[in-house]
Amino acid sequence: MKRDVCFLAAALLATLFMAGCSTIKEGAKDTYDFMFDREPKSGPMFTEDDTPIIELNSDAADSLFYNISQHHELPEGSPVYVHHFTNEQDPNDTSRFGRVTAKQVATRLAQHNLLITDGAPKPLPVKPAKIAMDNATEEDTGFFQSGKEVSPRPAMLTGTYYIGDTVIYMNAKIIRLEDNVVISSKSWTLPINDNVRELLPQLKKRGGLEPAVRDTF
């Protein structure tokens, strides 16, 4: 009986010793990594926003159309011409970004049944000054008027962009050509991600990020 008790005690001590060794071993590994600087020195600085810019540009176009439709600024069938968006910092910027973003906004406006029109705007008819509009004719004004309805009034979609550190600041407006009145405008931002860098080659020339931890001695 005494022999069995001793055997059980020895087995229990052996089990506790092995468990202790395992814990010490794992702890020693953590200590070793800390003392000898084997842990990762840095992680991702930020998560890049990879939202497709066409979605953000379409949302902006929805706002542009809403402003027009709420105030009935353009009669049905009014042609809307498109000018590519320009770089506020560099008007001579010929990158594809300005053309692509303008087309994306224009495409969404076309889905709202605006008459997006290619080419340069046609010359506007000259309207004689001081004509009583109640009695005006198509020959007098260049625009047929019957009650509250008038013929199409051409407009232009134009916009600008400004390249910031992490986003691009966008601004677009629709201008009625006969009187240069801005009938709708919208500002929004686009993330700077890999797809945008492909459209703006100048972003690639800025170089990569500096390493957060010294890697040479």
In a domain? residue 10: yes
In a domain? residue 48: no
Statement to judge: residues 116 and 149 lie in one domain: yes
Q: How far apart are the first and last CA of the chain?
A: 68
In a domain? residue 209: no
Q: Please give the Cα distance from 69 to 184 (Å, whole number).
A: 10
Q: How far is CA 135 from the centre of its chain?
A: 49
Q: Please give the Cα distance from 149 to 95 (Å, whole number).
A: 41
Please give the helix or strand (H or E) that residue 131 lies within, else none: none
Q: What is the pLDDT of residues 43-75, one digit of tens each?
A: 455 577 888 999 999 999 999 999 999 888 899
Statement to judge: residues 102 and 155 lie in one domain: yes
Statement to judge: residues 87 and 139 lie in one domain: yes
Closest CA to 64 of 121, 108, 98: 108
How much is the mean pLDDT over the chain?
A: 78
Q: What is the pLDDT of residues 149-163, one digit of tens each?
A: 568 999 999 999 999
Statement to judge: residues 66 and 162 lie in one domain: yes
Statement to judge: residues 93 and 198 lie in one domain: yes
CATH number at residue 60: 3.40.50
Statement to judge: residues 80 and 16 lie in one domain: no
- Stated pTM of the model: 0.66
In a domain? residue 81: yes
Statement to judge: residues 4 and 83 lie in one domain: no
Whether residue 36 has pLDDT greater than 50: yes
| 78 vs 4, higher pLDDT | 78
Please give the helix or strand (H or E) that residue 77 lies within, else none: none
Number of structural domains, the chain? Answer: 2
Domain with 161 in it = 53-122+135-204
In a domain? residue 161: yes
Statement to judge: residues 74 and 9 lie in one domain: no
In a domain? residue 191: yes
Q: Which range among 4-8, 46-50, 171-175 shows the weakest confidence by mean pLDDT?
A: 4-8
Statement to judge: residues 69 and 143 lie in one domain: yes
Statement to judge: residues 69 and 113 lie in one domain: yes
